[in-house]
Amino acid sequence: MTEPVQATPTPIEALADKGPLEPPRSQWKDVWDQFRKHKGAMFGGGFLLFITLAVVVGPWIWQVDAQKLDIRNKDMRPIWNALWDSTAKVGWNRPFGTDQLGRDQLAQILQGGRTSMAVGWAAMILSLLSGTTVGVLAGFVKKADGILMRLTDLFLSLPILPLLLVAVTLFRQPLREAFGPEGGMFVLIVGIIAVTSWMPTARIVRGDILALKEREFIVAARAIGTTPFRIVQRHLLPNVLSPIMVSATLGLATAIITESALSFLGVGFPSDFPTWGKMLADAVQRMQQFPERVILPGIAISLTVLSVNYLGDGLRDALDPRIRGR
Amino acid sequence: MLTFAVRRLVLAVPTLLFISFVIFMLLQLAPGDPMAQVPLTVPPDVKEKMRQALGVGEPPLVQYWKWLVQVFWLEPKVFIDWLTRDSALLGWLPDTQLYQGELRVISWQTRSPVMDIVIQRIPQTLWVVGMAYVVGILIALPIGIYSAYRQYSVFDQSGTFITMIGFSIPPFFTGPLLIVIFSVQLGWFPSIYDTTHVVNDWESLKFQLQQMILPVMVLALQTTAQISRYMRASMLDNLNQDYVRTARAKGLSEGVVVAVHVLRNSMIPVITVIALNVPSIFGGAIITENVFKVNGIGQLLITALFANDLPMVMTLTFIFAVLIVIFNLIADILYGLLDPRIRYD
């Protein structure tokens, strides 16, 4: 400030900067600030982090084998049943109780969560990669556009759940022989979910790329001789990142639900291998006597999906520059 | 518009043919033999004849061609015959007798025509799933409209939260949960849908409604969640438009502004979403039908899959694909009809 200080404050002075200017804000800082305002998204992100950590680290802390049969301690109730029923068969060594074969429920929830989350993340990443590739190719390469979009339309008109069921029953045997019972099923379920869920991403990415392609900065990049591959990598992909991230959250949610649905219908992982959907399906027959066995895995699935959906909601708001200013 | 519709219809035929081809070839890979249950004492030549009668034993392409002929040529004939012979609508026409006893698509489970079984199962699915869809839409629209009109109010916040929950809880959890609460603890509704139940007086109608409530609730929760989110977003898009301000400035009452001007414009995308979701409701109902033991199409598909009944699986999956293609077409056409700004040609 070079102006001399005056005795009485003037309006001009009030407009002057009090301190040094804030450093320029990056886009991601803006996004984070907007994201933080969305309470549901913060809660969702936090819960997703918590449950991911729990299923990753949990089995090392709670070192009970989820598949170990302990028939003497079968049908134990969760510990909180002791609050209202003093005769209930409970024990601190089995806080969530045991099932009809004496397997520890807490260990099963953790182990099953591992499977469900692994399937969800793997299928989501795979379908995002394929969807983005198809979308970028269709949007950027004019010759490929027609055929790729017809292919997308074709996949969109496939009946997904019936086909999933058909494919699982058909390819179960060969893949089990190739990768082992659990590995084969994992490959199969991840592959099938990815194959049947890449289309929305491809459509969104293609639309955005088509719009971006005509913008000045792409024309400029082309003019200075940037190779097409470099244009895609440096200029187009960062600009379509936000719709991709939003559809990633949706993809994660649907992948977790689809895996549980397959397990529920009895075409998922082998019967001694816990997943949330399978725990739920196994417990349905005895849900009158032991409702908690249905409710615990059900709540685990629902809360995870709910938090992922809220995360997606918040991301959509935070990544949209039109909403971000408000 | 008409040329667009015709073009899309023509384009739908190769799409459906391709889909059916893919599904057929996929099913050819299936392990399992329909003759596995036949006793070993049956001589090989008899076995071969039985194989022929079931339509297996020929090369896959021939089988596919035969399936096409059966589905697109013989089944319509049977249907027309039925229309002119037994139905009340066209029964006065002379019996056409187009069908001369050729081999139809035969289920390997029951050895009876697949289409007959499908026709038997369709009413149950339509009753439960269709009713759930209608109920879901009827609940969703007012919720969406009001929560958009009072954005960020308590109603909007709680409505958004509830739809988010409905969005996130899978039907295989809500189904058992509702059964535990309403049929085990409270004992209000039966947990199993009795499809042999005949409605002939008020008492039986009451029972029919009671047994429909739980599956309808499960399915309607999903529909409500989806549709009301779309409705809210679409209303919000329109509420800030200039024409709404003009309508208010003209002195129109708030009810007319919202219910006539905004609502009509907001319904355009919502109606297409409603049309697009009809087939996915059929597909998604597989789980709900399984939970409540409704013997509809979805349950038929599951049992056919487990019993390795390939003709049944093939035909059912194809029916689902046809539904998807048709409703996509309907959605596109509706969009063009409702919104005069859309030009397809």
Which of chain B's residues have a Cβ under 8 Å away from the Cβ of A288? Answer: 180, 184
pLDDT at residue number B343: 67
Tell if the CB–CB gap between A166 and B23 is shorter than 8 Å. Answer: yes
Query: For residue A279, what are the domain limits?
Result: 35-55+104-324
| Spatial CB neighbours of A25, under 8 Å, sequence gap ≥ 6 | none
- What type of residue is A154? L
Q: Is pLDDT at A324 greater than 70 in this prediction? A: no
Extract the tokens encoding A198: 């890449």
> What does pTM read for this prediction?
0.81
Supply the CATH number for residue A239's domain.
1.10.3720.10
Greater confidence (B93 vs A325) lies with B93
Residue whose structure tokens are 């037994």 = B86
Question: Is residue B264 in some structural domain?
Answer: yes
b/e string for A208-244 if b means 16 or more Cβ within 10 A?
bbeebbeeeebeebeeeebeeeebbeebbeeebebbb
Between CA B285 and CA A113 the distance in angstroms is 25
Tell if the CB–CB gap between A265 and B328 is shorter than 8 Å. Answer: no
| Spatial CB neighbours of B33, under 8 Å, sequence gap ≥ 6 | none
Q: Angle of helix A241-264 relative to helix A276-284, nearest 10 degrees? A: 30
Greater confidence (A63 vs A116) lies with A116
Q: What is the ipTM of this complex?
A: 0.78
| Spatial CB neighbours of B113, under 8 Å, sequence gap ≥ 6 | B78, B104, B105, B106, B107
Question: Is residue B3 in some structural domain?
Answer: no
DSSP labels, B2-65: HHHHHHHHHHHHHHHHHHHHHHHHHHHT----TTTTS-TTS-HHHHHHHHHHHT-SS-HHHHHH
Identify the closest residue of chain B to A250 by CA–CA distance: B168
Between CA B135 and CA A219 the distance in angstroms is 52
Q: Is pLDDT at A9 greater than 60 in this prediction? A: no
Question: Is residue B87 in some structural domain?
Answer: no
Query: For residue B231, what are the domain limits?
Result: 114-306
Between CA B3 and CA A123 the distance in angstroms is 40
Q: Which residues of chain B have pLDDT under 50?
A: none
Supply the CATH number for residue B187's domain.
1.10.3720.10
C-alpha dihedral (B273, B279, B284, B290), degrees to nearest 10: 150
pLDDT at residue number B91: 67
Question: Is residue B204 in some structural domain?
Answer: yes
pLDDT at residue number A127: 92
Extract the tokens encoding B300: 């038929």
How distant is the alpha carbon of residue A312 from its chain centre? Answer: 9
Residues of A at the B interface (Cβ-Cβ below 8 Å)?
Answer: 40, 153-154, 156-163, 165-167, 169-171, 173, 253, 257, 260-261, 264-265, 267, 277, 280-281, 284, 287-288, 291, 294-295, 298, 301-302, 305-306, 309-310, 313
Question: Is residue A199 in some structural domain?
Answer: yes
Q: How far is A71 from chain B (nearest CA, A)?
A: 26
At A276-299, the pLDDT tens digits run: 888 888 888 777 777 778 888 888
| Spatial CB neighbours of B124, under 8 Å, sequence gap ≥ 6 | B193, B195, B294, B295, B296
Percent of chain A with pLDDT over 70: 89
At A203-221, the pLDDT tens digits run: 888 888 888 888 888 889 9
pLDDT at residue number A1: 47
pLDDT at residue number A122: 92
Q: What is the CA radius of gyration of chain A?
A: 26
Question: Is residue B294 in some structural domain?
Answer: yes
Question: Is residue B86 in some structural domain?
Answer: no
C-alpha dihedral (B339, B341, B344, B345), degrees to nearest 10: 140
Tell if the CB–CB gap between B305 and A166 is shorter than 8 Å. Answer: yes
Question: Is residue B174 in some structural domain?
Answer: yes
Residue whose structure tokens are 């809220």 = A310
Question: Is residue A22 in some structural domain?
Answer: no
Q: Is pLDDT at A109 greater than 70 in this prediction? A: yes
Q: How many domains does chain A have?
A: 1
Identify the closest residue of chain B to A160 by CA–CA distance: B283
The CA-atom distances, in angstroms, between A144 and each of A150, A199, B11, B12 are: 10, 16, 19, 21
**Which burial class, exposed, middle or buried, applies to B8 when counting CB atoms under 10 A from its CB (0-12, 13-18, 19+)?**
middle
Q: How many domains does chain B have?
A: 1
Q: Is pLDDT at A3 greater than 70 in this prediction? A: no
CB-closest option in B172, B184, B320 to A162: B320
The CA-atom distances, in angstroms, between B31 and each of A184, A262, B40, B318 are: 17, 20, 20, 20
The CA-atom distances, in angstroms, between B322 and each of B49, B105, B279 are: 33, 17, 9
Span A74-94, mean pLDDT? Answer: 71
Q: Could you tell me the maximum CA-CA distance found in chain B, to the nearest angstrom?
A: 89
Question: Is residue B340 in some structural domain?
Answer: no
CB-closest option in A158, A162, A294 to B316: A162
How distant is the alpha carbon of residue B221 from its chain centre? Answer: 16
